[in-house]
Amino acid sequence: MRRISLMIVCLVAAYAAMPVGAEEPVDKQEFPAPSYSRDVQRVFKKYCIACHNEDEQESGLSLHDFSALMRGGDSGEKLIVPGKPAESWLLLLLQGEEEPQMPPEGEKQPRAEEIAGIARWIAAGAKNSDADEVKSTGYDAPDVPQVLPQGPVTPAIVSVAVSPDGKRLAAVRHREVVLLNADDGKVITNFKGAEHPLNAVAFSPDGQWIAAAGGPAGIGGSVRLWKIDGEPARGFHGHDDSIYGLAFSPDGKLLATSSYDKLIKLWDVATGQEAATLKHHTAAVFDVAFSPDGKTLASVGDDQTVKLWDVASGKRMVTLSEPTGSMNAVEFHPSGKEVVAVGIDKTLRVWNWDGKSAKIRKSVFAHDAIVLDVAYAPDGKTLFTAAEDGRIKAWDAVGLNLLRTVENLTDWPHALAVRPDGKRIFAGLYDGNLLAFDTEKSQPPQVLIAGRRAEPVAEEKPESAKVAERPRDPELSSISPRTAVRGTTAKFTLSGRNIADADALFVAPGDLKAKLLPSDGKDPNKIQCEVELPADLMPRMVSLRLHTPTGSTGSRAFYVGPFAEQGEKEANDTPETATVAELPKTLVGTINRKGDRDLWRFDAPAGAEIVFALRGTGFGSKLDAELSILDEAGKVLARSQRHPNQRDAVIGYRFENAGSYLLRVEDLRFSGGGGHYYYIHAGQFPYVEGVFPLGVTAGAKNADVLQARGFNLGDASQIDVEGKSPGDRNDRLKTELGPTLNTVRYELSEFPEVVEVEPNDTPAQAQLLSVPGALSGRVMTSSEGSGAADVVAFEAKQGDRLLIQVSARRAGSLLDSVIEILTAEGEPVGRQTLQAVSETFITLRDHSSKRDGIRLQNWDGFEINDYLMLGGEVIKIRALPLGPDEDVKFFANGGRLGYFGTTPQGHAVNSSVYKIEVHPPGQSFPPSGLPIVALNYRNDDGGPGLGSDSQLFFDVPADGKYLVRINDVRGLSGDDFFYRLAIRRPQPDFRISMNPADPNIPRGGNLPVTINASRLEGFDGAIDVRIEGLPAGITATAGRIGPDDSSCVVTFSAPESVETLGTETRNVQAIGTATVGDKTVEQRSSTGFGLHQVSLAPPPTLEVAVSPQEAVIEPGQEVRFQLKLKRNYGFNSRVPIAVQNLPHGIRVLHVGLNGVLIPEGQTEQSFVVKCEPWVPRQKISFYATARVEATGERNSSVPILLEATGVPSAVAGGR
């Protein structure tokens, strides 16, 4: 550090000694004018902010912004002495001149030039006056090149607000607020001066102030206030990212802001001081709204929730979790008794709100695309919504019935505002148009601000002037009711789109009888049906799908229960108000709010064993349930919780004394809301919880080999397996009370199955298992308090490849297994040596274990197929970014894939990432300053399809005896921590499926269909795909799923001349063929309804052609292709193009954030494909697929044949 500080002293001296007006040195570009944001704040954010921020102020010091830095910390030392670097304590700490060294030893250290930048800033006076930034904000403004537009630009109108008297209208347009006369649209004034884009605007309740908020993304948020009479603007800041939501409290004293930084802040309007920070959202917060009485604040965000806050205390009262996508906008009903929210899931939802709890009142599928904004009419009778489908809709606020629709807008309507008299609604569009609509008359809107296109927008056109739209594919969106009782003929209402003329109903399982009921023709989006449910049907999900003249729908499911249903009667949270149930029944209720609990009263005969089996999470409930049985005195007799690896909670109890008892239902996390519903089967019925051991050898003749545990099983607890076929069994047991309500799962093997013999906690006690073989055991703590692990021995020969696999969580165990292979002496067996050769770190955000993309600071020297190490995880690069705003993509299959037995993990921003080289175990290297990791045979989570169960592929290094140690990754143990450990040779295989399962093929079009592969037991070879069983007139291309890939695309085509397909439309299969070892393996796809069905659909909206249709590409070469689009039905919007089916190593370049895009009104575009140098020789077919954004309709080009002339490829097989 002494060397660094000497250099800094020289640099500072040279800078400070330069006389004013002196000739600038030649190398002045190395010493630009010091900047707080560039030279200081950027360094703090990189190295210091984790320990010195607003929430975590180590030693009382926050480096969050300029003012906090100048305040200093608890030490009392002057951190910064303007003009005197040598006396500035913070600089001395960074230089290592004073103790303690900062950042601490072992943490990332700032570079010499970064410390020099801070020194120059102090020497120049330590000012916070960057000319190009918002004054006194502490923004870390990035250095980015200025890119000027090539033509005229009209900013979008992103927010609008009406003054309380209805006379003025404010509209946000980029960095200004335009104030207009709300009647004639004349501009009154423009409020300018914002240095960064604005996102939201609001009038104060007295109409005297306008507030606007925004800020640079990823840097900070700010609010500016303008007085209507022209008083100079004032402002304040306080977020770490741009502000998107803004609202005045009804009394005008508070201003609420919400930001991409996940926070909500309340501000004192008079002083500009922060009054409170509300923290509970886990992602960006996009909108806030005050209740009319000002006591409650509502917020919505990217975490798919609506939250309600007590304004006085700042505490979160309720979280509403019904949304299934990011939420964009929220409003209170003028009465304050309802809350409405909209967002990505295209649904309009209304909740009742009593000031303490909220319950969903009604929801409707509102638009064909993301809903952007929502607004109530002042009388509360009408709701307005605006969406990316280019429509504004008016709804009856009570029944959510559609009243009318504004269509053919020139662009997305991003923002809505309603005049206080309710007679006009204003809409701001992305193309810069600001429109005013009369809510009482059907007439073209008034254009207040003209954007890029200001042609009139008509709500309705005469029939002769309408352009025919392509009929939408049928869609089944919901089934009501969502439950039924076996032994009945249940009637259901099916809702969706274009389904009233359905001509066939399909049910799974296929042995159930079902029929469509005649439609009344009133609603094209609804139809009814009946399903016969046998009395002996095991409780389960039953799926339905429809076929119509224009195609098939997807499937939806309902749940079949065993008993008549009884709903709770609120309030029922005390013993005195408990809902009385006469068993057996299915108890139905909802935990409506945080801390809510439901009580049910029932009578139990003496000696009865009564079971309560909760269902709900399997079909969408968010309840994390705890069930308790209580006696009259309130004593808990039994309790059961839903464990994370188990679907639902089950509790049973044998009552010694007859009497009245209580069942209590509550949420483990004290959460609640409309999505926290439950179905509890209650009564004296047989129920099986599990079995031990988890496996048995086929042909075993001992009737008591398998012991089931559960309730009311009697002699059926001993499972006889004689005569049963081998495999993964799911059997329903027969008892004196009838068959069990559920099935029991166990393995019937063709190799020896044994049960552990305790003690087996140490290598010396290890039980020898034959190979192939399996052992069932429990991870228990020994009587001496040690152990909590089992050790199993096996013998193997050099060169063998063995699969060591655990079944625990999949069998209902609480064990979160981790396994490790040891030598006979108990030492770890080395697998690889990982040598780090370069380092970078994670930026932008924290990353979960599931994401296939991670944002890295740099990727210089990285190549596709390189291995990276992040913590204890090794992953493989699939694609590198084409620009700074893209993630590095990794191989994934339902989640990121870990290599060499490592398990994907979550990673925090700024975590180190290493490019590694993989070497044999035991190899050593000279020190390089980068880590060298000895990787052993150890695994936590086994990968796709295994959940938390462990799996290892063991390549035996030498003949001899080896050990497997199994324990819980958390160190837990107990009777419920059972497992089955199998050691055998792997059996590589695969399964394939189709999406969509039942394609609707447009006449004259090419429908892209994805063929997905599930790879089993290490199979990573290529899979060739073909389609069979197609009716006359339909054709399909072949495809190939490449090694390590999990899918490919084929196309189904129908000539425009084909009118019908006949009756043989349900015999379609996708067939995958692969070489596994020395065998050719073939697998076929199917659905729960049998084979796939194809249907004819109307001609496509878009037709896409690509030239050339054939091309040759050499290693490292780029080839350009030209797209030409044909637009039908008058469709004129922009069209995203997906280039599908390119193999690993061949990709599209220079596509930007939106991919390949054909702008609205245009018909041509080009794209460039690049071949990496290592791509093997192959011939492939790929496609360009056009998509209608509002409907999701897709249509592909004919196959484009591409020949890669790379090196010959090796034959792939299992691994």
Q: What is the pLDDT of residues 760-808, one digit of tens each?
A: 999 999 999 999 999 999 998 765 555 589 999 999 999 999 999 999 9
When pLDDT is averaged across residues 903-922 and rounded to a whole number, the result is: 93
CA distance 208 to 1212: 73
pLDDT at res. 300: 95
Distance of CA 549 to the CA centre of its chain: 35
Over residues 719-749, the pLDDT tens digits come to 878 778 888 888 889 999 999 998 888 999 9
When pLDDT is averaged across residues 698-719 and rounded to a whole number, the result is: 79
884 compared with 1106, residue with greater pLDDT: 1106
Over residues 194-211, the pLDDT tens digits come to 878 899 999 999 999 999
pLDDT at res. 54: 60
747 compared with 235, residue with greater pLDDT: 747
| SS3 labels along 738-769 | EECCCCEEEEEECCCEEECCCCCCCHHHCEEC
Cβ atoms of 847 and 906 within 8 Å: the answer is yes
pLDDT at res. 7: 34
pLDDT interval class at 450 (50, 70, 90): confident
Strand, coil or helix: what is 272? coil
74 compared with 526, residue with greater pLDDT: 526
CA distance 537 to 69: 70
pLDDT interval class at 321 (50, 70, 90): confident
Over residues 637-690, the pLDDT tens digits come to 999 876 555 557 899 999 999 999 999 999 888 888 777 889 999 999 999 988
Percent above pLDDT 70 for the chain:
89
Rg (CA), the chain: 34
pLDDT at res. 390: 87
pLDDT at res. 575: 94
| SS3 labels along 473-533 | CCEEEEEECCEEECCEEEEEEEEEECCCCCCEEEEECCCCEEEECCCCCCCCCEEEEEEEE
pLDDT at res. 77: 66
CA distance 991 to 725: 22
pLDDT at res. 147: 56
Place of tokens 């049985």: 629
pLDDT at res. 124: 84
pLDDT at res. 615: 84
Q: Which of 544, 563, 564, 541 has its CA nearest to residue 554?
A: 544
Place of tokens 């709100």: 353
pLDDT interval class at 620 (50, 70, 90): confident
Residue 847 DSSP label: B
Over residues 186-195, the pLDDT tens digits come to 999 988 878 7
Over residues 1153-1163, the pLDDT tens digits come to 567 899 888 99
140 has a pLDDT exceeding 70? no
pLDDT interval class at 336 (50, 70, 90): very high
Percent above pLDDT 90 for the chain:
56
The mean pLDDT value of the chain amounts to: 86
Q: Which of 1115, 763, 761, 808 has its CA nearest to residue 951?
A: 808
When pLDDT is averaged across residues 1001-1030 and rounded to a whole number, the result is: 95
pLDDT interval class at 441 (50, 70, 90): confident
pTM of the model: 0.68
pLDDT interval class at 468 (50, 70, 90): low
937 has a pLDDT exceeding 80? yes
pLDDT at res. 1065: 83
Distance of CA 182 to the CA centre of its chain: 41
Cβ atoms of 84 and 13 within 8 Å: the answer is no
Over residues 825-867, the pLDDT tens digits come to 999 999 999 999 999 999 988 888 888 999 999 998 899 999 9
pLDDT interval class at 135 (50, 70, 90): very low
The sign of the CA dihedral 318, 322, 327, 331 is negative
User: What's at 793, amino acid-wise?
Assistant: A
Cβ atoms of 877 and 888 within 8 Å: the answer is yes
When pLDDT is averaged across residues 1167-1184 and rounded to a whole number, the result is: 93
Count of positions (residues) in the chain: 1215
1075 compared with 721, residue with greater pLDDT: 1075
835 compared with 89, residue with greater pLDDT: 835
pLDDT at res. 406: 87
22 has a pLDDT exceeding 70? no
CA 393 to each of CA 327, 340, 407, 1191: distance values in angstroms, whole numbers, following the listed order: 18, 15, 9, 17
Over residues 369-380, the pLDDT tens digits come to 899 999 999 999
Beta strands at 789-796 and 767-768: parallel, antiparallel or unpaired = parallel
When pLDDT is averaged across residues 431-460 and rounded to a whole number, the result is: 74
